[in-house]
Structure formats: structure tokens, C-alpha cells
Amino acid sequence: MALPTKKASFFPFLLLLLLVTISIILVTPSNSATDTFVFGGCSQLKFISGSPYEYNVNSILTSLVNSAMFTSYNNFTISASQDTVYGLFQCRGDLENGDCGRCVAKAVSQLGTLCLDSTGGGLQLEGCFVKYDNATFLGVEDKSVVVKRCGPLISTDSDALARRDTVLDFLGASDGTYKPFRVAESGDLRGVAQCVGDLSPTECQDCLSEAIGRLKTDCGASKWGDMYLAKCYARYSQGGDHSHGGDDTDNDDDEIAKTLAILIGLIAGIALIIVFVSALSKACEKDSKGG
Ligand SMILES: *[C@@H]1O[C@H](CO)[C@@H](O)[C@H](O)[C@H]1NC(C)=O
Ligand SMILES: *[C@@H]1O[C@H](CO)[C@@H](O)[C@H](O)[C@H]1NC(C)=O
């Protein structure tokens, strides 16, 4: 008689374990604000699969992911006679460590698919930037334009344009202190700027001045603009409008995932209660038998 009751309480426990696991998997990766893809690129050169270089690339990428749980910028070098690899990551300055870690993990996994067997690669998500290569790029300022995006024109309202310029000027202003992450706001207008942490304070300032100057000239009177240079970026947007190039479906997916996760969490909660009650009744049974 003891056997069937044992089976019956074991099954919901397994189910619960499965459901909790699924809901954790579903909830964790859905952060559209930081995970949105901005750009990615790979070097043409390929390494030989199974080579020491591949091992070093994997080590670097693993180090980046681990480090991003604790800090918003770090660089790594794995030195070997011919197989040296350099790598770095930079999270947006307002991310919590956990979000930074998740963003870098996502970027590294995308980089693995995008730049399969490439000797170098770089990837920018909204929340973080990751790069590795066998040529030194650490500490080298690079102001080449990687991504330029401009929104539709602001209404012919010259006030709006003046306000935009004020925000950008504030973003680019230097008080002599090192500010790799900057935010400037005026009304519904918001500007954000970020340097990669390997730049010196003066290089960072120089890079941001370039990005901001280009935003003004290249995006003219656009409602929003993104200027990503190789080692820094500046962006602005009005009224939350943004350049979410075709990620609407991502958001829908996120919504579905969230709803599913809540549903599964609910089922898991009910399963938990069932397990608890059945364990309780079993304990009561034993108690009454013992007494
Ligand atoms: C990087 O790796 C490629 C392919 O192995 C090689 O041809 C190139 O010379 C390397 N560059 C440096 C700077 O080591
Ligand atoms: C790279 O990291 C080392 C140790 O963490 C640090 O001392 C060095 O300044 C960093 N280099 C750059 C270019 O950021």
C-alpha cells in the first residue's frame, strides 16, 4: 500500500522541477532593452578548427563573460608565440552587474555564430560591446564610423532643433573629469554617450566630440540619431522614439515568453502546493500511525 503513494508524490515533484527549469530559462534571456542587436562584424581570416588559436579565442570569450558579472569594462590578453588573442567588453554605464553579465553572455553567444572560426570579431548590442582579435586594438583610439542611423525630421520647429543641440552640447561638454558614460536630458529629449573603457580620458573626449559633431551634421534635424564609432558612440532620441530597426517582432516574442513564463510559474506554484500538501498528509499519516 505504501508503494502507490510514493509514486504519486514523486511525479509532481519531477514535474515541478521541469516547470521551474523551463520558466527560469524563459525569463532570463528576455531583456529587449539591452539585447537588441546594433552591429556585428568579423575579420575575413579564419583559424583552423581545433587549433591552439581556437582554444585561446574560447578562453578569452569565457573570461569576458565571467568578468562581466562583476565589472562594466575589462580587457584580456592571452599571449602565446603565434596565437595571441586580445579581447574586451564594455557595458553601458547604467547597467547593473547582473544585466551586464547577461548582455555580454548574449553578445558572446551571437558572436560565436556570426563569426564562426574568424580570427577576430566585434558585436554591439544596445547594452554592451564585445570584441576580440589577434591584432592589438586595446588602447587604440578608432573613430571610424561603424553605424550611422538618423530618424525622420523633427517638425520645422526651430525650438526643437535648438533643444536637440543643447542636449548634444551638454553630452559633449568636458569638465576635465573622466566620464566614459554620459546622459543628458531636456524635456522628452534624451542623449546617451559611451566610450569603450580602454580609451584614455582625452581619447574618450575626442572620440565623443567626433561622434556628437557627426550626429549634428549628418543627422541634421532628425528626431533621433545613432552614431556608433569604433570606440565610442553617441545617441539621442525624442519622446522615447527610437531606431529599433525591425525588433518589433522581438518585442512580441518577449511578450509571449513573459506570458508563458508567468503561466508556467503559476502552474509550478500550484504543483508546489500539491507536493507540499501531499508531503504534509504523508507526515500526518506517519504521525497517526506512530501515535
Ligand atoms: C592573425 O591571424 C592570421 C591568421 O592566422 C594571420 O595571418 C595574421 O598574421 C595574424 N595577425 C597578427 C597581428 O598576428
Ligand atoms: C587591461 O587590463 C589591465 C588589467 O586589468 C589594466 O591594467 C590595463 O590598463 C587594461 N588596458 C587597457 C588598454 O584598458
What is the number of structural domains in the chain? 2
Ramachandran assignment for 50, one of left (phi > 0), alpha (psi -120 to 50 degrees), beta (any other): left
Q: How confident is the model at residue 284 (pLDDT cuts 50, 70, 90)?
A: low
Output the CA–CA distances (angstroms, integers) from residue 10 to 133, 197, 278, in the order listed.
51, 52, 10
The pLDDT value recorded for residue 197 is: 97
What is the CA(135)–ligand 1 centre distance, in A?
A: 7
- The residue that leads in pLDDT, 254 or 48, is 48
- Residue 61 makes CB contacts below 8 A (sequence gap 6+) with 87, 108, 111, 112, 130, 132
Q: Which residues line ligand 1 (CB under 6 A)?
A: 45, 47, 119, 134-135
Assess whether 87 and 116 both reside in one domain.
yes
Q: Whose CA is nearest to atom 11 of ligand 2?
A: 198
Picking from 108, 138, 168, the residue at the C-terminal end of a domain is 138
The pLDDT value recorded for residue 265 is: 63
What is the CA(191)–ligand 2 centre distance, in A?
A: 28
Q: What is the mean pLDDT of residues 34-60?
A: 94
Q: Please report which ligand is nearest the Cα atom of 74.
A: 2
The CATH number given to whatever domain includes residue 198 is: 3.30.430.20
Assess whether 125 and 171 both reside in one domain.
no
Q: Which of 73, 74, 75 to mutate to test the pocket of ligand 2 (most atoms within 8 A of CB)?
A: 75
What is the CA(197)–ligand 2 centre distance, in A?
A: 9
Q: What is the mean pLDDT of residues 30-36?
A: 75
Q: Cell triple for residue 17?
A: 522541477
Which atom of ligand 1 is least distant from the CA of 53?
Answer: 5
232 located within any domain: yes
Q: Cell triple for residue 146?
A: 561603424
Assess whether 113 and 161 both reside in one domain.
no
* Closest alpha carbon to 194 in 115, 89, 99: 89
Q: Which residues line ligand 2 (CB under 6 A)?
A: 75, 138-139, 198
- The residue that leads in pLDDT, 32 or 17, is 32
Task: Please say if the pLDDT value at position 279 is more than 60.
Answer: yes
* Closest alpha carbon to 38 in 125, 144, 115, 130: 125
The residue segments making up the domain with residue 121 are 34-138
Q: Which of 42, 44, 45, 140 to mutate to test the pocket of ligand 1 (most atoms within 8 A of CB)?
A: 45
- Residue 179 makes CB contacts below 8 A (sequence gap 6+) with 204
pTM for the structure as a whole: 0.74
3-class state of residue 237 by DSSP? strand
Q: How confident is the model at residue 4 (pLDDT cuts 50, 70, 90)?
A: very low
pLDDT digits (tens, 9 = 90+) for 177-217: 899 999 999 988 999 999 999 999 999 999 999 999 999 99
Q: Please report which ligand is nearest the Cα atom of 132.
A: 1
State the Cα–Cα distance between residues 103 and 36, nearest whole angstrom: 10
Output the CA–CA distances (angstroms, integers) from residue 51 to 48, 83, 119, 120, 268, in the order listed.
6, 9, 11, 15, 45
Q: Please report which ligand is nearest the Cα atom of 231.
A: 2
| CA-based radius of gyration for the chain | 25
Picking from 238, 265, 285, the residue at the C-terminal end of a domain is 238
Assess whether 125 and 152 both reside in one domain.
no
The pLDDT value recorded for residue 274 is: 67
Picking from 214, 238, 262, the residue at the C-terminal end of a domain is 238
Output the CA–CA distances (angstroms, integers) from residue 15 to 28, 268, 275, in the order listed.
20, 8, 10
Q: Please report which ligand is nearest the Cα atom of 196.
A: 2
Pairing of strands 128-133, 181-186: unpaired
What is the CA(120)–ligand 1 centre distance, in A?
A: 10
Q: How confident is the model at residue 32 (pLDDT cuts 50, 70, 90)?
A: low
% of the chain at pLDDT higher than 90: 59
Assess whether 134 and 150 both reside in one domain.
no
What is the CA(148)–ligand 1 centre distance, in A?
A: 29
Q: What is the mean pLDDT of residues 22-44?
A: 72
Which amino acid belongs to residue 255?
E
68 located within any domain: yes
What is the CA(20)–ligand 2 centre distance, in A?
A: 40
Estimate to the nearest angstrom the gap between the alpha carbon of 156 and the chain centroid.
36
Assess whether 134 and 183 both reside in one domain.
no
State the Cα–Cα distance between residues 193 and 93, nearest whole angstrom: 9
What is the CA(108)–ligand 2 centre distance, in A?
A: 20
pLDDT digits (tens, 9 = 90+) for 138-163: 999 999 999 999 999 876 777 888 88
Estimate to the nearest angstrom the gap between the alpha carbon of 161 and the chain centroid.
31
Can you tell me which residue has the cell 559611451?
Answer: 194
